Amino acid sequence: MKETSGMSLIVKRVTRISVSLIFLYGVYILLHGHITPGGGFAGGVIIALSFIHLVLAFGREAAFKRLSHEFISLAESAGGLMFLIIAVLGFSGGFFFLNFLRHGTPFELFSSGTIILCNIAIFIKVGAGLFAIFIALAMLRIPIEQEKG
């Protein structure tokens, strides 16, 4: 099992195209989260899937050179902190978690105040978090395989 070099050439070629499409689809689901079903969590899961697609197709080391563990951990904390800061800024209107930006006209893309910002924060956190879980579970197999072969 040539795991360090990933999968075959056809898979690598198609992955280069499909990863960007999956990424774009995830961002679309995120940005329309207040109009159509979806939102931050669903978009974050799709983004994490695109990263996992990269790791599966290109092998562990080649993908980890671009997305290191510290960056993922930092992104996860940043997403959580952004959500908390938006919630605390609601105090300026008098209540925790108040929707304090302009509400705009309904059914437009830039409406409904803080909901879209919260969605972006959740998106970053869930995407980074799921990918970090995958990395943690995938890197755990290294000691066992080193003693097998």
Partner 1 sequence: MLALFVIIPLGCAFLVPVVSKIRSGTERLLAVFCGVSLLWLSLSSFFWFEGGRIIYSVGGWKAPFGICMVLDGLSALMLLVVNLIGCTAIIYSLDYIKKYTAPQLYYTLFCLLLAGLNGVVISGDLFNLFVFLEITSIASYALVAFGAGSEELEAAFKYLVLGSLASTLILLSIGILYGSVSTLNMADIALSLSASQASNITMFCLALFIMGFGLKVALVPFHAWLPDAHPAAPAPMSAMLSGVVIKTIGAYALMRVVFNIIGVNAAVLGIFVWLGIISMSAGVLLAIGQWDFKRLLAYHSISQIGYVIFAIGLGTPLGLIGGLFHLFNHSLFKSLLFLNAGAVDYSCETRQLDKLGGLSRKMPITAATSLVASLSIAGIPPFCGFFSKLLIIIAAFQAGNIIGGFVCVIVGMVTLASFLKVQKYAFSRKVEGIIGEVKEAPVLMLIAMVFLAGLCVIAGLFSVPLIKNIISPAAAVLMEGTRYAIGILGA
Partner 2 sequence: MSLYLLCLILFLIGIYCLLVKKNLVKKIIGFGIAEYAVNLFFILLGYRAGGEAPILDKHEALTNIVDPLPQALILTSIVIGLGVTALMVAIVLRIYDKYRTFDINEIKKLKG
Q: Is 117 in the site for partner 1 (CB under 8 A)?
A: no
| Residue 57: closest CA among 1, 127, 10 | 10
Q: Which of residues 63-82 bind partner 1 (CB under 8 A)?
A: 70, 73-74, 76-78, 80-81
Which range touches partner 2 (CB under 8 A), out of 14-22, 35-43, 62-70, 109-117?
A: 35-43
Backbone angle region of 2, left / alpha / beta, with phi > 0 → left and psi within -120 to 50 → alpha: beta
Instruction: Name which position in 96, 110, 136, 139 contacts partner 1 (CB under 8 A).
Output: 96
In contact, 132 and 64? CB cutoff 8 Å = no
Q: In whole angstroms, what is the distance from residue 117 CA to residue 110 CA?
A: 10
- Interface residues with partner 1 (CB under 8 A) are 70, 73-74, 76-78, 80-81, 84, 87-88, 90, 93-99
